[in-house]
Amino acid sequence: MIPITPAHYMVLSAALFMIGVIGVLVRRNIIVIFMSIELMLNAVNINLVAFAREWHQVVGQVFAVFIIVVAAAEAAVGLGIILAFYRNKETVNIDEMNVMKW
């Protein structure tokens, strides 16, 4: 069996990232779109950690930690916006979110 190289992790990460991209592009439910973004962030993290291991550097993990922090912040604010939006429009369909003001 071939040894597992960073390339393997990169392929995995790329595929995961693509699934996220497709989710963002195809789905209209904004909550699912948010989750797709989380998938993409995870794909990046996998890459960072894989390289951190390859290069015997912890820096990659540090960056992954930062990404998780950013994801948390994004989720909090984004979901807050969704809630506020839902109160007014009673929808989470992104195609109906086409005005800046209502």
Partner 1 sequence: MANAPRPMFDTETLVINMGPQHPSTHGVLRVVLRLDGERVVDCDVVIGYLHRGIEKLSENRDYTQIVLLTDRMDYVAAATNNLGYCETVEKLMGLEVPRRAKYIRTILAELQRIASHNVWLGTHAMDIGAVTVFLYNIRERELILDLFEEYCGARLTYNSMRVGGLPLDIPAGWDRKVREFCRIQEEKLVDYELLLTHNRIWLERTRNVGVISGPDAIAIGLSGPPLRGSGVARDVRKDEPYAAYDELEFDVPVGATGDTYDRYLVRLEEFRQSIRIIRQALDGLPEGPIVGKVPRLIKPPAGETYHAIESPKGELGYFIASDGKSTSPYRFRVRPPSFCNLQALRQLVRGHLVADVVALIGSIDVVLGEVDR
Partner 2 sequence: MVEAFAFYSLAAFILGFAVLVITARNTVHSVLFLVANFLFVAALYVVLHAEFLAVIQVLVYAGGIVVLYLFVVMLVNLKRPPEAHADPRRRGRLGLAVAGLLLAQLVAVLGYSATQAVPAAAAAATAPAGGNVEAVGWLLYTDYLVPFEVASMLLLVAMIGAIILAKREL
Range list of H helices, the chain:
6-26, 30-54, 59-89
- The torsion angles phi and psi of 98, rounded to 5 degrees, stand at -120, 15
Minimum distance from residue 87 beta carbon to partner 1 (Å): 7
Around Cβ 30, how many Cβ atoms within 10 Å? 21
Nearer to partner 2, 55 or 102 (CB): 55
**Cα gap 11→8, rounded to integer Å:** 5
Q: Taking CB under 8 A as the criterion, which residues in 61-100 touch partner 1?
A: 86-87, 90-91, 96
Tokens of 71: 């994801």
Q: Taking CB under 8 A as the criterion, which residues in 20-79 touch partner 2?
A: 20-23, 25-29, 31-32, 34-36, 38-39, 42, 45-46, 49-50, 52-59, 61-62, 64-66, 68-77, 79
Residue 65 binding result from partner 1, partner 2, none, given CB thresholds of 5 to 8 Å by partner type: partner 2
Residue linked to tokens 């990232």: 17
Which residue ranges make up the site for partner 1 (CB under 8 A)? 86-87, 90-91, 96
